[in-house]
């Protein structure tokens, strides 16, 4: 793109980084000067779709980004209020002629951005939207017929073929933009980075920390210690063998191209199990693209099951069961430990997300949307596409989902993926002394031993809220009535 703007704004949203940022790179190519802006939206920040961990993560990341810009003599123009009004006011004040931003596939964001674009254009600004958040855009990986994929395996095959034919390496946006960043004085006064408490959220030392430097350090640690053994270790919550990069991918403190290409370079030099580990991890990044493109082609999934027959599932909303699931007091250690991990750290291991989602929707017959909303407010990585995809997969209502008659047995899941009980003991003090053979079914401990190990059922730890065999049968009946004859 020829240099046609004396000054452009880069409107940052879920891309809180300078490196490998497509909008920033395009703005640098097209402009003599650049200013970076972020708009705080009070109704969103105080509303039901965000919770403390993600708000804290975004504020952390904004602080780190601002520091980085200040080190280069510039600043982050941090605004608060109505998106188009704030951006137009800033553009007028500094005489910017164009706005560059990276697209967000969340249907609410799409609707909002259409309105913002209209208002910016009406104010005489050019607007350029870029694909950045996903490796391949929603229309880049389609079937021969032009239809979107709704099954992951063929999607991944096609994704791989496109990757081989047309890779998108990381973009050197920081290098291109650095010399063009508008001076701090010229940007003028902007808001301070807020605290979560300013919008009614309690902060916690235990939530994931934001910022690009933190993302890079997690990636380095994962490459050093985990990626080669990822295929074997990723399902064991006590081993912590995954990258923990999800909140960073959500806020965009690291670019997806950087991750895919780091993994590809490593895979090219790897053999055997190590190669399998890297390919499996890359496959998870492709799942992320897969769910993102589903949201674009089937935006109804944000509110409705993908499988239409699933609208007939007779869910039950029982406050006692809901509270037990939410608070981690179901009496099934792996479910409870998982919910405690979520409630206290703002993150949950993938295997555990599948277990608690299956338990809520199948054992307790809860509507997956209630669980999805709860995750949305308690995860630092809360992301509509992945969260909805995960819940619809677990509850058998989604595309390429678990079959409805698959009902995880929480005891066996615990015994398989946390065999010595290290994870559940770390989360639930009452289980600390319980021997491994009982730790995932403490209610089977003889009463004398319950007293000896400090885990008296009904006093120190709850009895199971439902019987597994009965709950399984009930779930298969109820789900089968809606989905069984499709």
- Residue from 394, 396, 413, 450 in contact with ligand FAD (CB under 6 A): 394
Query: How many residues form the binding site for ligand FAD (CB under 6 A)?
Result: 28
* Residue (254 or 431) nearer to ligand FAD, CB: 254
Binding mask 355-374 for ligand FAD (x = CB under 6 A): --x-----------------
Report d(CA 294, CA 149) in Å as an integer.
8
Question: Is 387 among the residues that bind ligand FAD (CB under 6 A)?
Answer: yes
Report d(CA 351, CA 429) in Å as an integer.
22
Least distance in Å: CB of 96 to ligand FAD?
Answer: 33
Handedness of CA 149, 150, 154, 157 (dihedral sign): positive
> Per the annotation, does 382 bind a ligand?
yes
Report d(CA 291, CA 363) in Å as an integer.
26
> Per the annotation, does 239 bind a ligand?
no
- Residue from 277, 389, 414, 462 in contact with ligand FAD (CB under 6 A): 389
Least distance in Å: CB of 50 to ligand FAD?
Answer: 12
Residue 451 and residue 393 in contact, taking contact as beta carbons nearer than 8 Å? no
Report d(CA 275, CA 287) in Å as an integer.
18
- Residue from 243, 341, 396, 413 in contact with ligand FAD (CB under 6 A): 243
Question: Is 287 among the residues that bind ligand FAD (CB under 6 A)?
Answer: yes
Of 5-13, 122-130, 170-178, 388-396, the window that binds ligand FAD (rule: CB under 6 A) is 388-396
Report d(CA 201, CA 203) in Å as an integer.
6
Name, in order, each residue with C-beta under 8 angstroms of 478's C-beta and a sequence gap of 6 or more.
313, 314, 365
> Per the annotation, does 318 bind a ligand?
no
Tokens for 193, please give them. 């980075």
Question: Is 105 among the residues that bind ligand FAD (CB under 6 A)?
Answer: no
Query: For 328-455, where are the alpha helices, taking DSSP H only?
Result: 333-345, 350-358, 368-378, 384-394, 410-417, 422-427, 436-439, 447-452
> Per the annotation, does 289 bind a ligand?
yes
- Residue from 33, 38, 149, 391 in contact with ligand FAD (CB under 6 A): 391
Q: For the packed helices 384-394 and 272-297, what is the interaxial angle rounded to 10 degrees?
A: 100
Question: Is 260 among the residues that bind ligand FAD (CB under 6 A)?
Answer: no
- Residue from 102, 235, 242, 399 in contact with ligand FAD (CB under 6 A): 242
Question: Is 434 among the residues that bind ligand FAD (CB under 6 A)?
Answer: no
Query: For 269-318, where are the alpha helices, taking DSSP H only?
Result: 272-297
Tokens for 102, please give them. 């990276």
Distances 82 to 55, 96, 413 between C-alpha atoms, Å: 18, 18, 47
Least distance in Å: CB of 287 to ligand FAD?
Answer: 4
Least distance in Å: CB of 463 to ligand FAD?
Answer: 26
Least distance in Å: CB of 155 to ligand FAD?
Answer: 12
In the annotated binding site for FAD, the residues are 230, 242-246, 281, 284-291, 381-383
Residues in contact with ligand FAD by CB under 6 A are 234, 242-246, 249-250, 284-285, 287-288, 291, 350, 353-354, 357, 375, 379, 381-383, 386-387, 389-391, 394
């Amino acid at each position: 793109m020829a240099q046609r703007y004396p000054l452009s704004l880069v409107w940052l949203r879920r891309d809180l980084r300078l490196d490998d940022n497509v909008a920033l790179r395009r703005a640098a190519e097209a402009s003599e000067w650049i200013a970076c802006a972020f708009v705080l939206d009070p109704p969103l920040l105080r509303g039901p779709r965000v919770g403390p961990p993600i708000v804290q993560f975004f504020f952390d990341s904004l602080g780190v980004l601002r520091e980085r810009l200040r080190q280069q003599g510039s600043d982050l123009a941090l605004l608060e209020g109505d998106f188009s009004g704030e951006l137009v006011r800033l553009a007028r004040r500094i005489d910017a002629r164009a706005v560059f931003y990276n697209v967000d596939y969340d249907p609410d964001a799409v609707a909002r951005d259409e309105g913002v674009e209209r208002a910016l254009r009406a104010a005489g600004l050019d607007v350029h939207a870029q694909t950045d958040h996903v490796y391949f855009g929603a229309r880049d990986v389609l079937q021969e017929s032009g239809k979107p994929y709704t099954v992951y395996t063929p999607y991944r095959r096609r994704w791989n073929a496109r990757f081989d034919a047309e890779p998108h390496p990381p973009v050197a946006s920081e290098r291109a933009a650095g010399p063009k960043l508008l001076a701090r004085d010229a940007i003028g006064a902007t808001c301070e980075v807020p605290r979560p408490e300013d919008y009614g959220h309690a902060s916690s030392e235990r939530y994931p920390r934001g910022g690009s430097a933190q993302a890079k350090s997690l990636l380095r640690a994962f490459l050093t210690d985990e990626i080669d053994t990822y295929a074997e270790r990723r399902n064991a919550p006590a081993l912590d063998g995954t990258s923990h990069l999800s909140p960073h991918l959500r806020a965009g403190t690291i670019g997806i191209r950087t991750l895919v290409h780091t993994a590809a370079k490593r895979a090219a030099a790897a053999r055997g199990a190590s190669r399998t580990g890297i390919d499996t991890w890359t496959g998870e990044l492709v799942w992320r693209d897969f769910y993102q493109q589903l949201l674009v082609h089937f935006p109804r999934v944000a509110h409705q099951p993908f499988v239409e027959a699933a609208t007939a599932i007779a869910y039950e909303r029982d406050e006692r069961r809901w509270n037990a699931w939410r608070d981690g007091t179901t009496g099934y250690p792996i479910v409870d430990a998982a919910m405690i991990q979520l409630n206290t750290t703002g993150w949950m291991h993938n295997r555990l997300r599948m277990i608690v989602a299956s338990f809520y929707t199948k054992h307790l017959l809860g509507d997956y949307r209630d669980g999805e909303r709860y995750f949305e407010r308690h995860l630092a990585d809360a992301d509509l596409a992945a969260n909805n995809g995960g819940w619809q997969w677990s509850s058998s209502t989604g595309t390429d989902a678990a079959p409805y008659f698959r009902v995880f047995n929480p005891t066996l899941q615990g015994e398989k993926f946390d065999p010595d009980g290290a994870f559940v003991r770390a989360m639930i003090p009452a289980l600390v002394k319980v021997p491994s053979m009982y730790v995932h079914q403490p209610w089977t401990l003889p009463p004398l031993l319950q007293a000896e190990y400090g885990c008296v059922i009904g006093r120190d730890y709850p009895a199971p809220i439902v019987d597994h065999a009965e709950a399984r049968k009930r779930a298969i009946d109820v789900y089968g009535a809606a989905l069984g004859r499709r």
